[in-house]
Structure 1
Amino acid sequence: MNRSNRSAAAASPASPRLDAQLCFALYSAQLAMGKIYRKLLSDLGLTYPQYLVMLVLWEADGMTVTALGERLYLDSATLTPLLKRLQSMGLLRRDRAANDQRQVRVTLTQTGSDLRGRAAGVQDGVLCATGCTPGHARVLKAELEELRAHLLAASSPMENRTAPD
């Protein structure tokens, strides 16, 4: 293919363009969101994934590692180092369940519980940074949750899929 043909192919409407990709819009928005969270979480000494773990535990302390991973869509290979780091920071404990030694329960320490108060302004800071009204943020969140559900369903094994009505 000569140079002029390559240029024409690159400019053709059939060629994928970066700015037309939904995946890139999501990816770049996630990167921008990460920068905001880094700024807002720096005073708490937490990374964004650590903050997510803490959010879940502030909602429901004493969860098993398995339940925590399901809630965060994380596998144990990703979650375990996060939990170990949070434990070394004195924010949580990991203990084997008395009734089933295969289960590990994660509970907040008093320091971990107290951090919730210091983290209270994070969501307001995020909302402010988005430029969204609270109502628009709720709509956008619902749309993203629907997108996630569709993507998870599409990525599941064929035998778990149901035919559309």
Structure 2
Amino acid sequence: MNVRTICLSILYDGEATGYEIRKLSVEGEYSYFIDASYGAIYPALQKLEADKFVTSRVARQDGRPSKKIYSITELGRREFINSLFDKLGEDEYRSEFMLFARFAPELPQSLVIQRLNERLESLDQAVAEMDRLATNHTSPADRWIIDHGRSCMAFARDHIEAHMGELIAMARPDAAAAAE
């Protein structure tokens, strides 16, 4: 899946500016699919418009710069659906926390405990966000996706909580405790 596809998917639901597309793909509900930078979104939108998959119009705003609003065309809708027939790439999972955990044996226990607690808190917030999203989405496909994401995050949280003692035991005793 590429930036063109994520732009078309967002526009499939309604018109949007490049800024709104970026915001949805980084902070919003589309952030769970792929990452799309401004540097990739605007060239993709230009190409989509040249290919007649989207159209744009300029909306004037009082006291603010005009904004360009994009809409998907019928041809773009077909292109988007056809793109879903392409073989899917592998899911990507990157985690700074996992890098930290990999080197826990080199770190003081107090830091490992701190990071584990921060991660648990972060996952609790992510699960709560999924619960919030679930109340705002009624389509069966959206609910399925939200439930899947919530399950993955809840499982990660439960695994960390159940096994955090193992990671703490791998860490080095704090300098103050080791000196005693």
TM-score (norm 2): 0.40
Structure with the bigger RCO (C-alpha within 8 Å, sep 6+) is 2
